[in-house]
Amino acid sequence: MTPDTAFVAPVIEWAYLVPVLVVLGAGVIGVLVEAFVPDRARRPVQIVLGLGALLGGLAAVVVLWGDERVQGLPNEVPGVRILGGSMVVDPFALAVQGIVLLLAVLGLLVVADRTSTGQDAFAPTAAAVPGTPYEDLARRRGVQQTEVYPLVLFAVGGMMIFPATGNLLVMFVALEVLSLPLYVLSAMARRRRLLSQEASFKYFLLGAFASALFIFGVALLYGYAGSVDLARIFEALVSGTSPFGPPGAMVLTGLFLVLAGLLFKIGAVPFHAWTPDVYQGAPTPITGFMAACTKAAAFGALLRVLYVVGSGLPQEQLDHVLVGLWVVAIATMVVGTVVGVVQTDIKRLLAYSSIAHAGFLLVGVIGFNALSIRATVFYLLAYGLATIGAFAVVTLVRERAPRREPVAVAVGTAGAADAGSTAGAGSTAGVEGAPESDVVLGEATHLVEWAGLGKRSPWLAGAFSLFLLSMAGIPLTAGFIGKFTAFQAAIGGGGWMWVLVVIGVLTSAVAVFFYVRIIVLMFFTPGGRPEATGDEPDGGLAPGVTVVRSQGFTTVALVLCVVGVVALGVFPSPVLDLALEAVKFRP
Amino acid sequence: MLSSAIGPTEIVVATDVVPPGLQLAPLLVLLPLVGAAILLLAGRRSDRWGAWFGVATSAGAFAVAVAVVVTMLGLPAEERVVDHRLFDWISAGGLDVAVGMRIDPLSMTFVLLVTFVGTLIHVYAVAYMAHDQDRRRFFAYLNLFVAAMLILVLADSFLLLFVGWEGVGLASYLLIGFWNHRRDYAVAAKKAFVMNRIGDLGLIAALMLMFATFGAVDFATVFEQAPAADVALLTATGLALLVAACGKSAQFPLQAWLGDAMAGPTPVSALIHAATMVTAGVYLVVRSAPIFEGAPTAQLVVVIVGGVTLLFGAIVGCAKDDIKKALAASTMSQIGYMILAAGLGPIGYAFAIFHLVTHGFFKAGMFLGAGSVMHGMGDEVNMRRFGALRTSMKVTWITFGLGWLAILGVPPFSGFWSKDKIIEAAFVPVDGEPWRAWVFGGVALLGAGITAFYMSRLFFMTFHGERRWNDGSGDEHGRGPRDGVVQHPHESPRLMTVPMIVLAVGSVALGGLLAFGDGFVHWLEPVTGHAAHEDPVLPVWLIITLTLVLVALGVLLAWRRYVTTRVPVAVPRGSVLTRAARRDLYQDDVNEAVVMRPGQYLTRSLVYADRQMVDGGWMGLAGLVGSIGERVRGMQNGFVRSYAAIMLAGLLVVIAVVLALSGGADATDALTGPTS
């Protein structure tokens, strides 16, 4: 007999935690690198470390995928519970982790690219108050903020734990682990810093609000079931042994509060309001990373909570929960597409597109069957590839201004000093047609500035068009298969699900409008206006716009995204089969 | 021939075993196809060698064809029908189609005709098109045509045949409109294209019917199952095939495009619109014999269409003053003979193909002659401005004259052997319907007489009579030559006359050669089957005599009207019939009134409806979405407090909905705590 007070060391199966440990460990090492590696060597070391960790994690995920305990021994539930469910390593968790890691690799490549201007997307010293001499000094000294890399790794670590935990408290911790670095990263844009900081602050406040809702929901569920372990909650729901009797309003309210915290990260209406502002303000590479990876991780967590708790509920109540999600899904699709139609800023437009996609994903989720999980996993991959690719393209289309024109050329506080430090870089950019003396500034995000891109950079515009077509769900792209499987899964849910699918299809049709509008703009609208005085347009682009060349990282990411989008669109079967394996998960 | 030794051959079922010599067959299509691709892709770089390269690929295909036929002649008749399966093409659900070649006497007859005449015309075109800037493109199209035509006749399924069918249609369109900088030529090309589409619809309908009836579209399966199929379905299929044949072969009522197709360069008219492509309809009907055999009604319609067209073309031919259009009308009429023969069943198949071959030679020869005349006369086509050209263009005159004798059916020239057989076959009585023999026999006989008249008219107006062109001597007989245009008719270069001579030799001798011992009929027997000899309602000698008498009358009439009488250069008003015939018996007017104008009204009203209702509705919807978007956008005001409020309000609404559904009692529980 062991006395209650005696400490029993828990048995931890470290092997199953390798993917998470590799990434988080590399993050910690990255912090040490910041402290001890000389200034010049930091960036290469961080890039190697970051990419190495992510690829290593991915390799570990692949190895674990083949593990027989993960896939399930005969007569046993698949998956391994570690520390009483704090981590649940099952095929589903591994699939989501794999997607997060894969997308993070692509995202990190875009983050690492400094383009032909020699500058990355991040402020030299994020701590400097915008517009102060200190900031100016830091820029002149060529300081760089390589903390970005460990921050990304921490966020990825959190995203990997998020869908792989069966414990609501651990999930909450993971939520914070992934959120806090993102808040910081959002504030670090090199240009339009006030916008960036404002976005970050909004994100933080609303994120805190959502976390509060989440933890309140956890409290209610704990109150009902006496545990924060999803497996226990499930048992309590099924057995009805709770002092509160059979599951009722308390459970439903708790569940929805928890879901609210997750839906916030997903960007579903009505928890979406931060999305356009943050997507616009954050440094574009971070926007791409966060749009793709956060959504993948959050949907993983959402599926786990919803499906475990949902299967514990009586059928009638489950239906009511799903009706609640119906409302959310419809609102999300409608708001995402309808408001997306009137956007004029490319980053905000992609933000609304991302909201709409959250709605389409929810349609698949609400199907509440095995195919839903497969569809969601596939859709997340398809969506993530197109999103990272699209934002990567955005990083390359820039505004420019004549060299002598002083300061703050409508580009925000960073303008003047940038002009000083990058004059040489601007002219060595090898931008054909752009006057030598011009300075490359921030991203050209207004839609008008994208006119004529197809003529100036057909490959870039072609890739962007492909991503947009994939988002629109045009056949032969990954997006089509994703949407198709999602709607197919929804129909599989039976009942009135077809109504939801019809709304999904209709809103998809509306969404096609704003995707195709950009394609038309890029290829069929001349950008160069002859009457614009004194400013020669760059190869058919609008005056004051140019395209910078990638250092190579973004190009690699773009190529991978293009290949992925086409491959998943033309030969989806192998990945769909893999995604079907991910259906196995244990509470 | 072998077959005569072992008696009449029955229709042979295709074998899949391909004898070694026949494995060359894919080259037949590949050579001209690759030639076309190279010429089109090489662009201006091939300007210098392009023309002769085109000749070479066509000649190469002919050499392969000879090799294949020689191999085939070495095989016993029962082994001459071969299906050479190349690769799987479409495998979709119940439909499996392979790309393969049906190599048999019928297809090889066509292959020889197409490649031989085609090569000659390629050679002719080298000289004829010598001064054209784009002649490389011209030869590319000619190659493309040869390849497509060979696909058409070598296909082993109706679907692959359809590919060739469309291919020749495309080549025909491109070549009619070759000089598309002239608007009327471009319009002519479009007209041919559109009318051919109607025929193509027929073929598509036939394909669908076959797939629905037999579950397959390859010859082997369809022909095997056809005898057991429902007569109504076979009739429908047969009629659909007939529509296709009418479109491609310019048969009534889809014949209106052929005259306009003469806008193309003359070698094109000779090759495509006289010798080969326009006979594809005959090929289709003969090839589909097992379907028509089971559908007597469809066969009757085929015969009627053939009869009507042969008279129609002949009458139109009498009134045309444009030498090429007169020849085109004659082509239409001659194909009418072939279609008529093909509709008669087994007794007619072999003669239809026989006439097709001889016609291919003499008509191509005459077209080349017409081209030669135009070449010498500065592209003049109006016969009223010709006359007495026999002195200045001897070779053209003689070769054309031999073709003229052949088409008249004067023994022993080619046309006699083939056309006379068709007239005899038309007189063969059909059980239970004695009227048929008299009507169709009579029509065929009458057609021969009219043919003699209009072909003699053409020949005399061009080469005989008085000179009606201005040679600059001032002696114009006061007949109003073209103002200021002085013409110096001269013989064409050797490159043009040699093909004409070769074709003229064919016009003289080919018929007798092939008819010797019924050799050609026996050659085709593995495909068409052996037809028991049946006696016509009139004795054969009487039919021949009647035909020749009518022909002689026709020639005599033409001689009196166009040689011994002056031919006015200005077009006389003419009788009602003449005026009608000049306008193609008002075919275009009928088409325009019945089809074109209503069609235009329909499309205009559809466009209007589309703009107003569909587009309007859609644009309205888009506007609605946009305005809703603008409103909702207002909620995105940038203030965190309102964002948080939206979140909270939204969440409360959702939870309220869920709880309301779950019942009010539960909701109060949640507020009051445990019930126990």
- pLDDT tens digits for B612-626? 888 888 888 888 888
Residue type at position A319? D
Binary contact (A342, B630; C-beta < 8 A): yes
β-strands A80-82, A397-401 pairing: unpaired
Element (H or E) spanning B86, and its range? strand B82-92
Residue A422's pLDDT is 37
For B337-369, b where at least 16 C-beta lie within 10 A, e where not — what string? Answer: bbbbbbbbbbbbbbbbbbbbbbbbbbbbbbbbb
pLDDT above 70 covers a percentage of chain A that reads 91
pLDDT of amino acid A383: 96
Check A206 against B640: CB less than 8 A apart: yes
3-state secondary structure (DSSP) of residue A401: strand
- Which residue in the set A317, A323, A342 is minimally distant from B629, CB to CB? A342
Of residues B632, B643, B662, nearest to A339 (C-beta): B632
Residue-wise pLDDT tens digits, A421-431: 333 333 333 33
Cα B572 to Cα A100: distance, rounded to the nearest angstrom: 89
Instruction: Look at residue B583 and give its three-state secondary structure.
Output: coil
Give the chain A residue nearest B654 (alpha carbons): A324
Within the 24-83 window of chain A, which residues sit less than 8 Å (CB to CB) from chain B? Answer: none
Q: What percent of chain B has pLDDT over 90?
A: 25
Q: Structure tokens of B132?
A: 């054209």
Determine the average pLDDT of the residues in A271-293.
Answer: 94
Q: CB–CB of A335 and B628 under 8 A? A: no
Range among A472-486, A569-583, B401-415 with highest mean pLDDT value: A472-486
Mutate to test the interface with B, among A224, A341, A345, A512 (most CBs of B within 10 A): A341
Averaged pLDDT score across all residues of chain B: 85
A555/B595: higher pLDDT: A555
- Residues A301-319: tens digit of each pLDDT: 999 999 999 999 998 889 9
Residue A582 DSSP symbol: T
**Per-residue pLDDT band at B463 (split at 50, 70, 90):** confident
Residue B317 contacts residue B350 (beta carbons within 8 Å): no
Cα torsion A159, A164, A170, A171: sign: positive
Distance CA B580, CA B318 (A): 11
Instruction: Decide: A406 and A423 in contact? Cβ < 8 Å.
Output: no
Chain B residues in contact with A335 by the CB 8 A cut-off are 632
Enumerate the residues of chain A whose CB falls inside 8 A of the CB of residue B637: none
Q: What is the pLDDT of residue A434?
A: 45
Which candidate from B628, B651, B662 shows the least CB-CB separation from A249?
A: B662
Give the distance from residue B97's alpha carbon to the nearest chain A alpha carbon, in angstroms. Answer: 24
- Are residues A244 and A220 in contact, defined by beta-carbon separation less than 8 angstroms? no
ipTM for this prediction? 0.87
Q: Is the pLDDT of residue A362 over 70?
A: yes
Instruction: Output the pLDDT for position A416.
Output: 37
What was the pLDDT predicted at A47?
Answer: 95
The whole-angstrom distance between A244's CA and the closest CA on chain B is 5
Contact A205 B644 (CB under 8 A): yes
* CA-wise closest residue to A307 among A360, A377, A250, A231: A231
B570 neighbors B480 (Cβ within 8 angstroms): yes
Question: Would you call B651 and A260 a contact, using CB atoms and an 8 Å cutoff?
Answer: yes
pLDDT in tens, B107-162: 999 999 999 999 999 998 888 888 888 888 889 999 999 999 999 999 989 999 99
Q: Which of A250, A334, A353, A510 to mutate to test the interface with B (most CBs of B within 10 A)?
A: A250
Average pLDDT over residues B410-419: 87
Tokens of A544: 């004051």
A342 interface with B at CB cutoff 8 Å: yes
B-interface mutation test, from A309, A328, A342, most B Cβ less than 10 A away: A342
The answer, for A321 touching chain B at a CB cutoff of 8 Å, is yes
Instruction: For B180-201, write each residue's pLDDT tens digit.
Output: 888 888 888 888 888 888 889 9
Chain B contact for A205, CB < 8 A?
yes
Terminal CA-to-CA distance of chain A, rounded, Å? 30
Q: What are phi and psi of A545, to 5 degrees?
A: -125, 145
Q: What is the spatial distance between Cα A502 and Cα A499, in angstroms, rounded to a whole number?
A: 5
CB of A264 less than 8 A from some CB of B: yes
> What is the pLDDT, as a whole number, of residue A492?
87
Residue A108, pLDDT > 90, answer yes
Mutation pick from B621, B630, B632, B633 vs chain A, by most beta carbons of A within 10 Å, is B633
Nearest-Cα residue of chain B relative to residue A277: B638
Q: Which of A205, A209, A253 sits opposite B670 (nearest CB)?
A: A253
Which alpha helices (H) appear in B432-493, and where do they start and end?
A: 434-463
At residue B255, what are phi and psi to the nearest 5 degrees?
Answer: -90, -5
Using DSSP, state whether A542 is helix, strand or coil: coil
Distance CA B168, CA B152 (A): 8
Nearest beta carbon to residue B657 from set A245, A260, A327: A327
Q: What are the extents of the domains in chain A?
A: 14-402+442-581
Nearest by CB to B626, from A243, A270, A342: name it. A342
Choice between B572 and B323, residue whose per-residue pLDDT is larger = B323
What pLDDT shows up at residue B631? 84
Task: Indicate if the pLDDT at residue B79 is higher than 60.
Answer: yes
Q: What integer pLDDT is reported at residue B10 of this predicted model?
A: 67
Q: Which of A243, A248, A324 sits opposite B654 (nearest CB)?
A: A324
Mean pLDDT of chain A: 88
Left, alpha or beta for A37 (phi > 0: left; psi -120 to 50: alpha)? beta
B674 close contact with A: CB closer than 8 A: yes
Contact B670 A210 (CB under 8 A): no
The yes-or-no verdict on residue B90 having pLDDT over 80 is no
List the structure tokens of A15.
Answer: 């092997």
Cα distance from A329 to chain B (closest Cα, Å)?
11
Contact B650 A269 (CB under 8 A): yes
Query: Which pLDDT band, with edges at 50, 70 and 90, does B589 fall under?
Result: confident
Helix (H) or strand (E) holding A295: helix A295-312
Q: Tell me which H or E stretch contains A327.
A: helix A315-341
**Is B652's Cβ below 8 Å from some Cβ in A?**
no
Distance between A78 CA and the closest CA of chain B, angstroms:
33
φ and ψ at B50, to 5 degrees?
-55, -45
Is the Cβ of B41 closer than 8 Å to some Cβ of chain A? no
Query: Which of B628, B657, B658 should be substituted to probe chain A, the one whose Cβ sees the most A Cβ atoms within 10 Å?
Result: B658
Question: Which member of A206, A323, A510 has the closest CB to residue B625?
Answer: A510
According to the model, what pLDDT value does residue B43 have?
77
- Highest mean pLDDT among A102-106, A445-449, A537-541 belongs to A102-106
Is residue A534 over pLDDT 60?
no
Q: Which structure tokens are listed for A539?
A: 């190869």
Please, which residues 590-619 of chain B have a Cβ atom closer than 8 Å to chain A?
none
Q: How many CB pairs under 8 A join A and B?
A: 109
Asked if B630 has any chain A CB less than 8 Å from its own CB, the reply is yes
Residue of chain B with shortest Cα separation from A224: B674
- The amino acid occupying position A226 is G
Q: For residue B214, what pLDDT is reported?
A: 87
* Count of residues in chain A: 587
CA dihedral A13, A16, A20, A25 (to 10 degrees): 50
From the list B640, B643, B658, the residue facing A252 with the nearest CB is: B658
What is the per-residue pLDDT across B379-398, written as a single tens digit (0 to 9) for each? 888 888 887 788 888 888 99
Reported as a single tens digit per residue, the pLDDT across A47-97 is 999 999 999 999 999 999 988 888 888 878 888 889 888 999 999 999 999
Q: Give the CA count within 13 Å in the CB-facing half-sphere of B123.
A: 17
- pLDDT score recorded for residue B484: 57
Nearest CA among A356, A363, A358 for reference residue A340? A356
pLDDT digits (tens, 9 = 90+) for B299-358: 999 999 999 999 999 988 888 888 888 999 999 999 999 999 999 888 888 899 999 999
Residue matched to tokens 């994208």: A450
